[in-house]
Structure 1
């Protein structure tokens, strides 16, 4: 177990994922329906790599 400060987004890897999701999908407000938004979020989560720039495959969330 690695103890981390109560809130440390620079250490918590899932915070980086949420930031990337927000930057690429939700911040743009391009979806006209909830279904379009969910489709884009699902695609993002299926193709997001836990190792940016690497060849380690895809993250399945």
Structure 2
């Protein structure tokens, strides 16, 4: 019960999924609780980074 809720919460967070490799994002969300493997990039991201599609960076 609680494990299923935890997994669902991590996978379906209110963040948007980058249009690139959504399978990889889901694995990162499940295992790392973030959208990317790069911890430093995740910590230092800005709101504009989160709103922009990855191909425009």
TM over 0.5: no
Asked which structure has the greater CA Rg, the reply is 1
Hey, which of these two has a bigger chunk of helix by percent? 2
TM-score, normalization by structure 2: 0.37
Q: Normalising by the residue count of structure 1, what TM-score does the alignment of the two structures yield?
A: 0.36
